[in-house]
Structure 1
Amino acid sequence: MRLDRKALSPPLRPANLLSARQLAFAWSVMASIALLAWVLVVDQARDMGVEPGTMGMGVPLFLLLWLVMMFPSVAPVALTWARAIGRQSPTGVVRVARTAQFAGGYLLAWTAFGLIAYGLLAWTGALVDEHPGAGRWIGAGAFLVAGLYQFGPWKDLCLRHCRSPMGQLVRYAGFRPRARDLRVGAHHGAYCVGCCWGLMIVLVPLGVMNVLAMAAVAVVIFVEKLWRLGPVFSQVVGVAFLVLAVLSLFRPWLLPGLLPPKSPMTDMLRP
């Protein structure tokens, strides 16, 4: 009796091939959105300069630019979640809707922190206007807090989650179906805030619309999460912040985001 090899061969899975195409398409879409968002940031910052506080931005515009920086970091995990729910949601429309809920929950966590950051910027801006000499102490304090946090246990815990989220995503399967994807995204976003808030507060002394500083912070966040030596790199960044905390007390030009608008130093820094 001869066995039919075709009967023993595993069947082709066109659905998996389609998933690969959909995954590539999703990466392209997210990369395009991130690129367009950064173009918006650069265009908005071009005529604003770098000054203390919120620089007259309202809360909606500030949050829009704030979330632009965080959007690239959600893409890898959002797509991982999309692949994980693929079997539960056979139709593409449902997968897209659930992935959008996940991304929405993630950005919701960062929106909450963005409101806190906006209040902090408004407070520091008002304080520097009244007491220009306070800027160097605020800047040194921000660098000091950010540097020390890079070595803390909470940073390590949150960074480990962000670097290897799969175990946590599996645990999320136990969440109740009602608004599960939104809650999962918010939960993961809370870990991301815990991982990155120290990096974000350095924008207070560097300038919230300092495009170079914003790009540098975004790169640090990306490298910490994806590079094999991310934890070591995180501590190197912490050392750099501690050095800046000391130097900024004697070198005001390291604090462009806290220099009063009418300061001679500010005029020297303007092109």
Structure 2
Amino acid sequence: MAAAPPLRRGNLLPPRVLVTAWSLLVLISVLAWVLTIGQASDMGVEPGTMGMGIPLFLLLWLAMMAAMMLPSVAPVAITWARWIGRRSTGLARAARTATFIWGYLFVWTAFGLLAYGALAATGDLVRDHPDAGRWIGFTAFLLAGLQQLGPLKNVCLRHCRSPMSQLMRYAQFRPWVRDFRVGAHHGLYCTGCCWGLMIVLIPLGVMNIAAMAGVAAVIFVEKLWRRGPVFSTAVGVVFLVLAGLAPFQDWLLPGLQPSDAPMPMH
């Protein structure tokens, strides 16, 4: 199989097409935020899965991931679209870029199954033993802090910040479902980079909009700011401090406070 051409000016998309691609990703993210905020306002912050079955939870989780992750993954998606360049028609480029995004979100949706299991287990535990929430919070913040400071975080963050060499390797993939595989492969790196940030939503509340916005901001800054790795380390230290406070400060654990009030659901 012949090697794919390198990234060069002849392969790049016209500026107006790049602007359209950026605008589309921003629009998807904004719509996902609107959907997530609307649903969160009805559900409130509760421990566990909040009465949702797996299909509904995964649908909402997918919207959350699109809202939180697409702003930071947009540069990689656009870089891949640049590689596609003039090798495809406008409609084909759009379809291939969308396939990349779907592959990326597919990995995060699969991670949502693990999140559902963790939420179900912690929710049951908190309902049976309310004081357990403090130690669940301690564990979540501790794991998040250790992950932020660990070697896996550094490896995955380097890939997410500078994916060009890996994208060039992807050019050797067989054409069949190549774009989906590229998106999924990048999603695996992103999951390895950000899973610790996601588990803090257990004590903070998986439907806590302020917490989701904060996590999304951290992800965006550590991936795109030139001092992102230093910022990532600082966030890890903060999580370790929060782990020390969690057993004594219930206000840090809104997502682990049992409630007997009925929860409105659409």
Same fold (TM over 0.5): yes
What is the letter of the counterpart of residue 73 of structure 1? Answer: S
- 1:183 corresponds in structure 2 to 181
Q: Distance in 1 between matches of 2:92 and 2:260?
A: 54
Distance 1:180 1:117 in 2: 28
State the identity as a percent. 70
Give 5+ residue unaligned stretches, structure 1: 1-12, 264-271
The CA RMSD measured in Å over matched residues stands at 1.8
Q: Pick the aligned partner of 2:27 from 16, 28, 32.
A: 32
Name the structure 2 match of 1:266: none
Task: Identify the residue that residue 43 of structure 1 maps to in structure 2.
Answer: 38
**Poorly superposed stretches of 4+, deviation over 6 Å:** 13-16
Q: What is residue 111 of structure 2 aligned with on the other side?
A: 113
Tell me the alpha carbon deviations over residues 128-176 of structure 1, each in whole angstroms, 9 at most, x when there is no partner: 1111111100110000000011111100000000000111100111111
Do the aligned residues in 2 keep the contact of 1:207 with 1:256 (CA within 8 Å)?
yes
> Do residues 140 (structure 1) and 135 (structure 2) align?
no
Distance (whole Å) between structure 1 residues aligned to residue 243 and residue 99 of structure 2: 39
Q: How many residues in Structure 1 have an aligned counterpart in Structure 2?
A: 249
Q: Distance in 2 between matches of 1:85 and 1:79?
A: 10
Equivalent-residue separation in structure 2 for 1:43 and 1:78 (angstroms)? 27
Look up the match of 1:168: 166
Task: Give yes or no for contact 1:74–1:106 (8 Å, CA) kept in 2.
Answer: no
Q: For the residues of structure 2 that align with 1:15 and 1:123, how far apart are their CA atoms?
A: 50
**Correspondent of 1:248 among 243, 246, 249:** 246
User: For 1:28-51, what per-residue CA distance to the aligned partner results, in whole angstroms no more than 9, with x for missing partners?
Assistant: 121112111101111111122111
Which amino acid is the alignment partner of residue 35 of structure 1? V
Q: Which residue of 1 aligns with 2:75?
A: 76
TM-score scaled by length of structure 1: 0.88
Q: Could you tell me how far apart the structure 1 residues matched to 2:73 and 2:32 are?
A: 14
Q: 1:197 aligns with which of 191, 195, 198?
A: 195
Cα displacement (A) at 1:14: 11
Ranges in structure 2 where 5+ consecutive residues have no aligned partner: 1-8, 262-266
In 2, Cα distance between the equivalents of 1:48 and 1:112? Answer: 23
Task: Give the secondary-structure state (helix, strand or coil) at the position aligned to 2:52.
Answer: coil
Aligned residues of 1:144 and 1:245 also touching (Cα < 8 A)? yes
- What do the CA deviations read for 1:212-257 (whole angstroms, capped 9, x no partner)? 0000000100101000000000011001100000101111111010
Change (3 A) 1:70 1:62: farther
Give the Cα separation in 1 of the matches to 2:256 and 2:39: 20
| TM-score, length-scaled by structure 2 | 0.89
Is the partner of 2:175 in helix, strand or coil? coil
Provide the residue aligned with 2:207 in structure 1.
209
Aligned positions of 1:78-117 closer than 5 A: 78-89=77-88, 91-117=89-115
Query: Which letter maps to 2:156?
Result: C
- Using the TM superposition, give the Cα deviation of residue 95 of structure 1 relative to its aligned residue in structure 2, in angstroms: 1.0
Contact 1:106 1:185 survives alignment (8 Å)? yes
Change (3 A) 1:77 1:56: same
Return 67-76 or 94-103, whichever deviates more.
67-76
